[in-house]
């Protein structure tokens, strides 16, 4: 074909498809506030969520923003907070005027404002600490045990909780064994005060949405199935129960200053007992605590038998090898537990009178214990009366 023929023929223009917008570039602001919230839940990265909330804090809190932003970044990662911040950071509320979308946005704005105001006082302490550290940069920096612990918590268990939340957001009904994760990272009850508020906050939000106690929570989690909300509530409750078990375990294994006569440690030197059981998540106290006490609770993990030993002897219990001595057989009992996980937390925390009421309600035959302690026996608790 010659040049003259080509000149007379129209050439088709190539059309290049535009790439689909994602992340912050693809927020469907034209569809309203509810769509924006759902989009942030599903499509916006955590880093972008945190950035939006930080920008909002700087715009709305003036000189106090630096205190609020001194907190760890995970505290600004809630997606409905980020959606609200985006709505106001980009002046979208001005486009919608007095619409229903803006009314919903105002409610979330008020909630975000209240939440961030509460962070000012605690943020001052964090901010001042950071300022002091900056002044001491020229000197050799030594990390305090508290800072080392906070760093370890932030890089281990808190990171795993954020990963769990990400999996929930992606629609997975995953779970976590907090008791095992604490053990894996070598964390004790000192880390609970950092972890518990996060879990309690989740539980409050999920229960508010599940039981429809809060309109904001219902709207914020409207995209989540009710079965998934129920699963998250159960996981949060399990984590809180695990933290209580960790507290009890830490108390049981706490280093004890021996104030008893030297004969006391000799009495228990050959005692055979089980130090820890991962299935029931319980830990034995040090056997030296038994000497001189008047009440002892033990649990046989193999036969699921709870023993309550009592003595009226003013000198308390004594031990010979692995056998408990001086206990009153008429007032001591042995019960086989059908549901140990329901009873063991009561044994660790209730008073003897409260526990007696709970045990009396069980339809289980009461037997007399023989006082022998073996490798299947967890030493749960001792009391002076």
In whole angstroms, what is the distance from residue 44 CA to residue 79 CA? 8
Instruction: State residue 212's pLDDT score.
Output: 92
> Averaged over 275-293, what is the pLDDT?
93
Closest by CA to 263, choosing from 328, 327, 316, 310, is 316
Report residue 9's pLDDT band, with 50, 70 and 90 as the boundaries.
Answer: low
* pLDDT of 13 over the 80 cut: no
Instruction: State residue 26's pLDDT score.
Output: 86
Report residue 152's pLDDT band, with 50, 70 and 90 as the boundaries.
Answer: very high
In whole angstroms, what is the distance from residue 25 CA to residue 9 CA? 41
Report residue 6's pLDDT band, with 50, 70 and 90 as the boundaries.
Answer: very low
In whole angstroms, what is the distance from residue 18 CA to residue 3 CA? 34
Instruction: State residue 262's pLDDT score.
Output: 55
Instruction: State residue 136's pLDDT score.
Output: 75
Instruction: State residue 98's pLDDT score.
Output: 75
Taking only the tens place, the pLDDT of each residue in 202-260 is 999 999 999 999 999 899 899 999 999 999 999 999 999 999 999 888 777 776 665 54
Instruction: State residue 3's pLDDT score.
Output: 45
Work out the mean pLDDT of the chain and round it to a whole number: 88
* pLDDT of 117 over the 90 cut: yes
> Averaged over 67-72, what is the pLDDT?
92
> Averaged over 83-90, what is the pLDDT?
89
Taking only the tens place, the pLDDT of each residue in 295-318 is 999 999 999 999 999 999 988 999
Q: What share of the chain in percent tops pLDDT 70?
A: 91
Closest by CA to 231, choosing from 167, 144, 294, 306, is 167
* pLDDT of 70 over the 80 cut: yes
Give yes or no for a contact between 270 and 322, defined as CB atoms under 8 angstroms apart: yes
Mapped onto helix, strand or coil, the DSSP state of residue 248 is helix
Residue carrying the six token digits 């980009």: 90
Instruction: State residue 255's pLDDT score.
Output: 67
Helices (H), the chain: 3-8, 33-43, 46-61, 65-68, 79-89, 92-96, 100-117, 119-135, 145-155, 157-169, 178-185, 192-210, 215-220, 226-252, 262-267, 340-349, 352-360
Taking only the tens place, the pLDDT of each residue in 156-185 is 999 999 999 999 999 999 999 999 999 999
- Calculate helix-pair angle for 100-117, 33-43, nearest 10 degrees: 50
Query: What is the full DSSP assignment across 310-336?
Result: E---TT-BEEETTEEES--TTT-EEEE
Q: Is 191 left (phi over 0), alpha (psi -120 to 50) or beta?
A: alpha
Instruction: State residue 138's pLDDT score.
Output: 64
Q: Is 184 left (phi over 0), alpha (psi -120 to 50) or beta?
A: alpha
* pLDDT of 36 over the 80 cut: yes
Range with the lowest mean pLDDT among 22-36, 163-177, 182-196? 22-36
Give yes or no for a contact between 382 and 295, defined as CB atoms under 8 angstroms apart: yes
Instruction: State residue 1's pLDDT score.
Output: 47
Instruction: State residue 257's pLDDT score.
Output: 64
pTM score: 0.43
DSSP 372: B
Closest by CA to 195, choosing from 239, 129, 151, 237, is 239
CA distances from residue 314 to 293, 295, 370 in whole angstroms, order as listed: 9, 12, 21
Residue 116 backbone phi and psi in degrees, to 5: -75, -30
Report residue 141's pLDDT band, with 50, 70 and 90 as the boundaries.
Answer: low
Range with the lowest mean pLDDT among 64-68, 143-147, 334-338, 375-379? 143-147
Instruction: State residue 49's pLDDT score.
Output: 92
* pLDDT of 63 over the 80 cut: yes
> Averaged over 19-48, what is the pLDDT?
85
Give yes or no for a contact between 311 and 327, defined as CB atoms under 8 angstroms apart: yes
């Amino acid at each position: 074909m010659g040049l003259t023929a080509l000149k007379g023929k129209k050439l088709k223009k190539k059309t290049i498809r535009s790439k689909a917008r994602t992340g912050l570039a693809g927020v469907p602001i034209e569809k309203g506030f509810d769509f924006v919230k759902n989009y942030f839940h599903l499509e916006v990265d955590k880093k972008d969520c945190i950035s939006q909330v930080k920008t909002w804090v700087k715009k709305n809190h003036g000189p106090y923003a630096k205190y609020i932003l001194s907190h760890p970044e995970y505290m600004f990662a809630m997606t409905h907070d980020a959606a609200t911040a985006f709505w106001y950071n980009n002046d979208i509320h001005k486009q919608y005027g007095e619409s229903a979308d803006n009314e919903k946005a105002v409610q979330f704005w008020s909630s975000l404002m209240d939440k961030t105001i509460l962070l000012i006082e605690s943020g001052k302490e964090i901010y001042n600490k950071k300022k002091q550290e900056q002044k001491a940069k020229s000197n050799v920096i030594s990390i305090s045990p508290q800072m080392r612990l906070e760093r370890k918590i932030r890089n281990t268990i808190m990171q795993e909780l954020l990963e769990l939340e990400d999996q929930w957001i992606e629609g997975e009904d995953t779970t976590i064994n907090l008791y095992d994760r604490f053990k894996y990272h070598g964390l004790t009850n000192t880390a609970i005060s950092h972890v518990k508020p996060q879990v309690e906050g989740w539980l409050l939000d999920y229960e508010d949405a599940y039981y429809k106690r809060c309109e904001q929570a219902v709207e914020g989690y409207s995209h989540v199935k009710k079965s998934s909300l129920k699963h998250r509530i159960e996981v949060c409750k399990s984590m809180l129960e695990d933290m209580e078990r960790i507290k009890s375990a830490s108390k049981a294994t706490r280093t004890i200053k021996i104030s008893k006569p030297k004969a006391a440690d000799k009495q228990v030197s050959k005692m055979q007992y089980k130090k820890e059981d991962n299935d029931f998540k319980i830990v034995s106290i040090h056997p030296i605590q038994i000497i001189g006490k008047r009440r002892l609770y033990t649990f046989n993990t193999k036969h699921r038998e709870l023993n309550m030993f009592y003595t009226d002897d003013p000198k308390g219990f004594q031990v010979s090898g692995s056998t408990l001595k001086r206990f009153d057989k008429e007032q001591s009992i042995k019960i086989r537990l059908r549901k140990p996980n329901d009873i063991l937390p009561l044994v660790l925390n209730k008073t003897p009178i409260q526990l007696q009421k709970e045990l009396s309600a069980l339809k289980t035959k009461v037997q007399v214990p023989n006082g022998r302690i073996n490798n299947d026996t967890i030493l749960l608790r001792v009391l002076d009366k």
